């Protein structure tokens, strides 16, 4: 399974790591890490991207809007100012696929022009203009499921059958993409851990994750699955752990996700996750 990401090709015959680079002052785990004197420090961000690539990341996911509950809203201009310089700097200086974590049409179009190789949208291109903007780029698009909106999504999430409903939503968004001119071969699915789900929902989704890797049945190749569980609150609640104590839980879930067919793991701790995935492949997909 291969994805064409602008000038680069991503081989998904085995699971790969997407390293998280938040250019926000307020993301839940690494917010503000690349700020010096109140301003975004491009050099710090570039060095962090370089480190994640050295550790084995194949994709760097650059985001300029925090989606944690209670985060401040960000204007289009603020998001452009945070994201574009980082996308340009990584694309110009490092051998990496840059993914842009955005729902904003202008950020989608301008990031693609600046060298991005993938769009990662937690709102599955539902914002007005986002489908057309993504269609105009030729880049792969990750469609994530979220129930509700970031500010309130964790208050009382409800599903009759979370696995069926998330699956139906992703297929409906895939069809909306196809109608807008985004071919199925460009689509990645993500069930959206932490986005409008309680822990029973999270456990049901992880238990049944393999069903999502088969959702694209009938497509020339199955639709790749992206999973983001790194350091999330579900690990905090299930294991009673603070954010800085969630590495073992994050690695365990990364392993479980890879065993159930996830092809892209979105993580903060790149080196440790790369080790886990290498072992998972040695056991589950030994070279012939
Ligand atoms: C931006 N972002 C935060 N969490 C995420 C997740 O689980 N998946 C994707 N695709 N993006 C995420």
pLDDT digits (tens, 9 = 90+) for 241-253: 999 999 999 999 9
The secondary structure of residue 225, as a DSSP letter, is B
Quick check: is 197 catalytic?
no
The verdict on residue 2 lying in a domain is: no
The verdict on residue 130 lying in a domain is: yes
CA-closest residue to ligand 1 atom 5? 228
Question: What is the tally of structural domains in the chain?
Answer: 1
The verdict on residue 92 lying in a domain is: yes
Report field, pTM of the whole predicted structure over 0.85:
yes
192 CA: nearest ligand 1 atom = 7
Backbone angles phi, psi at 128, to 5 degrees: -55, 130
The verdict on residue 178 lying in a domain is: yes
pLDDT (0 to 100) of residue 287: 80
Residue 221 has pLDDT above 70, yes or no: no
The verdict on residue 118 lying in a domain is: yes
Residue 22 Cβ inside 6 Å of ligand 1? The answer reads no
Residue 115 Cβ inside 6 Å of ligand 1? The answer reads no
Q: Which residues contact 85 (CB under 8 A, 6 or more apart)?
A: 40, 42
The verdict on residue 286 lying in a domain is: no
Q: Which residues contact 82 (CB under 8 A, 6 or more apart)?
A: 23, 24, 40, 64, 74
Quick check: is 123 catalytic?
no
DSSP 3-state of 14: coil
Domain, as residue range, for 154: 15-281
DSSP 3-state of 123: coil
Identify the CATH number of the domain in which residue 125 sits.
3.20.20.20
Residue 228 Cβ inside 6 Å of ligand 1? The answer reads yes
Q: Which residues contact 204 (CB under 8 A, 6 or more apart)?
A: 162, 163
Lowest-confidence range among 20-24, 69-73, 117-121, 270-274?
69-73
Residue 196 Cβ inside 6 Å of ligand 1? The answer reads no
The verdict on residue 3 lying in a domain is: no
Mutate which of 64, 192, 202 to test ligand 1's pocket (most atoms within 8 Å of Cβ)?
A: 192
CB atoms within 10 A of CB 183: 13
Residue 140 Cβ inside 6 Å of ligand 1? The answer reads no
pLDDT (0 to 100) of residue 151: 76
Mean pLDDT, to the nearest integer, of 140-151?
A: 91
The verdict on residue 33 lying in a domain is: yes
Instruction: Report whether 115 contacts 6 (CB < 8 A).
Output: yes
């Amino acid at each position: 399974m291969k994805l064409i990401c602008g000038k680069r090709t991503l081989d998904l015959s085995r699971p790969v790591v997407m390293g998280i680079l938040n250019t926000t002052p307020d993301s839940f785990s690494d917010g503000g890490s690349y700020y010096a004197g109140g301003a975004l420090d491009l050099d710090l961000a570039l060095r962090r991207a370089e480190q994640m690539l050295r550790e084995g990341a194949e994709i760097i996911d650059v985001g300029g809007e925090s989606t944690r509950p209670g985060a401040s809203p960000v204007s289009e201009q603020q998001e452009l100012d945070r994201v574009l310089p980082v996308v340009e700097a990584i694309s110009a200086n490092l051998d990496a696929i840059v993914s842009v974590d955005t729902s904003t049409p202008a950020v989608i179009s301008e990031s693609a022009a600046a060298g991005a190789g993938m769009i990662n949208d937690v709102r599955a291109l539902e914002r007005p203009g986002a489908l057309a903007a993504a269609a105009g780029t030729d880049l792969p698009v990750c469609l994530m499921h979220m129930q509700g909106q970031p500010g309130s999504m964790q208050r009382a999430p409800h599903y009759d059958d979370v696995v069926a409903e998330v699956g139906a939503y992703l297929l409906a968004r895939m069809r909306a993409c196809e109608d807008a001119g985004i071919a199925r071969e460009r689509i990645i699915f993500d069930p959206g851990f932490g986005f409008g789900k309680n822990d029973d929902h999270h456990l049901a989704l992880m238990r049944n994750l393999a069903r999502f890797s088969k959702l694209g049945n009938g497509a020339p190749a199955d639709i790749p699955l992206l999973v983001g569980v790194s350091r999330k609150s579900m690990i905090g609640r299930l294991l009673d752990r603070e954010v800085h104590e969630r590495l073992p839980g994050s690695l365990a879930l990364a392993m479980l996700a890879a065993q159930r067919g996830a092809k892209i793991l979105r993580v903060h701790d790149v080196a440790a996750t790369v080790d886990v995935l290498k072992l998972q492949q040695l056991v589950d997909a030994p070279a012939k």
